[in-house]
Structure 1
Amino acid sequence: MTDFTPFLSFAGGLMIGLSAVALMVVHGRIAGINGILGGFLSVRLNSDWAWRGAFLAGMIASPFIVLLATGRFPEITVPSSPLLLVIGGFLIGIGTTIGSGCTSGHGVCGMSRLSVRSITATVTFMTTAGITVYVTRHVLGG
Structure 2
Amino acid sequence: MTTILDDAHLMDLATLRKLRLLFEDFPKNHNLILIGRPNLLASLDLGVNHDIKSRVTYSVITKRLIPDAMREFILRELDRVGLGHNTFTTAAIDLVVRSADGVLRAARNLCVGCLIEAVRSSNRTIDIDNVNRVLMQPHWQKDVDLKDY
Q: Highest CA radius of gyration, 1 or 2?
A: 2
Whether TM-score is above 0.5 comes out as no
TM range, normalised to the smaller chain?
under 0.3
Which structure has the highest strand share of the two?
2
Report the TM-score when normalising by structure 1: 0.25
Which structure has the highest helix share of the two?
1
Q: RCO higher in 1 or 2 (8 Å CA, sep ≥ 6)?
A: 1
